[in-house]
Amino acid sequence: MLFAAINLLAAEGGESAAVNPVFPDSAGELVWGAIFFFLTWILLRYVCLPPLLKAREDRELQVQSDYEAAAAAEAAAEQVRRDYETTISEARLQAARMVEEVRVTVDAERGRQVLAVEQEIAEQRQAAMAELDSARTAALGQIVGDVADLAAAAASKVVQAPVDAAAVRPAVDDVVQRTGGSK
Amino acid sequence: MTVALSTQPLSILAAGGEGGGLKFPPVENLVKWPAWFLEGTVFEFNKIAFINFVAFIVPVVLFFIVSRKPAAVPRGLQNLMESAIDFIDVQVIKPAIGPDGKRYLPMLLAMFFYIWIGNLFEIIPTAHMPANARIANPLILAIVALVMFIGVGVKHHKLGYFKEVLFPPGVPKALYILVTPIELLSTFIIRPFSLAVRLFANMLAGHILLVTFSVLCITLWGFQILNIVNLVAFPMLVAFTGFEFMVAFLQAFIFSLLTAVYIGGALHPQH
């Protein structure tokens, strides 16, 4: 159909030489076209666009300024955060130092008290041991005397003659000594 | 003028003689418009001039409304118009000219809107005529682009601009016999010519395409059997209308972009 239409246009062009679809047959279109275009250009250039472009420029400056302010605020916030972290870490270090100092003090005090208690225990133990040795020695002496008396009585019964307990005493002492009487 | 196609099978459409057949509007009705007033003078005002007026008044009024008291945070119409500025700035000026191109924003913005709105009348009901399907507007805008990029070149490089363009550095001197006329033609003649013809031809072709399918649909509507062709022809008309909506924008963008490219080339001819 398009070709048919073009053919028709061509045929018409052949029929009527006065018709020229390309060039305007009056200067009016050129004149008004130029007038309206230059009016558009001039009014946009000098009336319409300057306030709008200035508003855009102001906005860009404002955005830039706000952006810089935001960047500055962000930097300040970052500085505050770093200060806070520094303070926190210093506080933690100080706390750790204090804890360490207290721990050392407590350890020293504990060691001192343990030592004192151990010394006291050792003294008490030594005293008890001495008392025990004394009691044992006394008991052993009593036992040795009793054994000597018993041995003298038994020997008197065997030999049908009186035996002096004092004479038996060295032998009993010797037996007691050999059988662990000092323990 | 009533023309019946003689080719098969459309010859059927012409069978009705004077009472039927495919009636294609004469070319005058497609592209030429009678004067509304000031007929016969250089200020003859017709439909094309009126479309030009709308293409002038719409962006000016819209930008004027938002420029009276622009808000710091754009909303609504201001947001829309600033998006247009951003579009020209980011998609046209920065890639074609660079950061120095801000000063050409008003011209390129005016050019873009003037072409785009003029093109949009191709698909606006009851108008159905793109202003740029006439050679006048593309010719004026191409001359503006030509004057602009030559002016920019001369302003920044004085007469050395012509030397840079006509005698490109690095070319053997003997080749200047060939290169210089080619550069002269391509830079100062073919550039504006191609700018104008590209816009004009695209819009005229689109206009004829839409008229063709419209005439076909209207004509087939009266034929009971052949009306079934409208099942294809009418969706094609709708599709081409959408296509031309895109073309209207695309041609405005291409014209603005190429103008910016030429200005950028004049600013930095060594590139």
Task: Map residue B108 onto helix, strand or coil.
Answer: helix
Q: Is residue A20 part of a domain?
A: no
Q: Does A61 touch chain B (CB under 8 A)?
A: no
Interatomic CA distance for residues A175 and B172, integer angstroms? 141
- 3-class SS of residue B46: strand
Is residue B69 left, alpha or beta, with left meaning phi > 0 and alpha meaning psi from -120 to 50? beta
For the segment B235-244, the average pLDDT, to the nearest whole number, is 94
Nearest to A29 among B48, B114, B212 (CB): B48
Is the pTM value of this prediction over 0.95?
A: no
- pLDDT tens for the 183 residues of chain A, in order: 443 444 444 445 444 455 677 777 778 889 999 999 999 999 999 999 999 999 999 999 999 999 999 999 999 999 999 999 999 999 999 999 999 999 999 999 999 999 999 999 999 999 999 999 899 888 888 888 888 888 888 888 888 888 887 888 888 888 877 876 554
CB–CB of A9 and B208 under 8 A? yes
CA B142, CA A30: separation in Å to the nearest integer?
A: 12
- More confident of the two residues B193 and A179: B193
pLDDT at A154: 87
CA distance B183 to B201: 24
What is the structure's pLDDT at A26? Answer: 75
Closest C-alpha among B34, B257, B35 to residue B145: B257
Which residue's structure tokens are 């004192």? A116
- A18 in B contact zone (CB under 8 Å): no
pLDDT at B20: 54
Residue from B1, B24, B193 whose CB has the most chain A CBs within 10 Å, to mutate: B24
Residue of B nearest to A5 (CA): B212
Across the interface, do B45 and A2 touch by the CB < 8 Å criterion?
Answer: no
Residue A30 contacts B, CB cutoff 8 Å: yes
Question: For residue B192, with 0-12 CB atoms within 10 Å meaning exposed, 13-18 middle and 19 or more buried, which class applies?
Answer: buried
Q: How do residues B16-39 score in pLDDT, each as one tens digit?
A: 444 456 667 777 777 778 889 888
pLDDT-based confidence at residue B111 (cuts at 50, 70, 90): very high
Cβ-proximal residues to B193 (8 Å cutoff; 6+ apart), any chain: B142
pLDDT of residue A22: 72
ipTM at complex level:
0.88
E strand spans, B79-202: none
Residue B91 reports pLDDT greater than 90: yes
- Diameter of chain A measured on Cα atoms: 190
User: Cβ of A140: how many Cβ atoms within 10 Å?
Assistant: 15
pLDDT at position A3 is 39
User: Structural domain tally of chain A?
Assistant: 1
Highest mean pLDDT among A6-15, A31-40, B123-132, B167-176: A31-40
* Angle value at C-alpha B177, between B172 and B183, nearest 5 degrees: 90
Tell me what pLDDT residue A158 has: 87
Q: Do A33 and B144 touch (CB under 8 A)?
A: no
> Residue B3 and residue A11: Cβ atoms within 8 Å?
yes
* Contact by Cβ (8 Å): B116, B163: no
CA–CA distance, B263 with B191 (Å, rounded to integer): 12
Q: Does A10 touch chain B (CB under 8 A)?
A: no
Instruction: State the residue range of the domain holding A120.
Output: 26-178
Q: What is the mean pLDDT of residues B211-237?
A: 85
What's residue B239's pLDDT? 94
Residue A87 in any domain: the answer is yes
The CA-atom distances, in angstroms, between B67 and each of A44, B72, B114 are 10, 12, 19
Chain A interface disruption, residue of B1, B33, B44, most A CBs within 10 A: B44
Residue of higher predicted confidence among B14 and B106: B106
Tell me which chain A residues have a C-beta less than 8 angstroms from the C-beta of B135.
22-24
Question: Would you say residue B5 has pLDDT above 70?
Answer: no
Residues of chain B in contact with residue A58, where contact means CB-CB under 8 angstroms, are 72
> Chain A residues with CB inside 8 Å of B52's CB?
29, 32-33, 36-37
Q: Which residues contact A66 (CB under 8 A, 6 or more apart)?
A: none
pLDDT of residue A47: 94
pLDDT at B12 (0 to 100): 42
The pLDDT score that the predictor gives to residue B231 is 85
The overall average pLDDT reported for chain B is 87
Residues 6+ apart with CB under 8 A from B109: A44, A49, B59, B84, B85, B88
**Residues contacting residue B156 through CB under 8 Å, at least 6 positions apart:** B266, B267
DSSP letter for each residue of B162-194? HHHHHS-TTS-GGGHHHHHHHHHHIIIIIHHHH
Tell me whether B66 touches chain A (CB under 8 Å).
Answer: yes
A83 touches chain B (CB under 8 A): no
Tell me the nearest-neighbour CA distance from B169 into chain A, angstroms: 36
Give how far A66 is from chain B: nearest CA, Å: 13
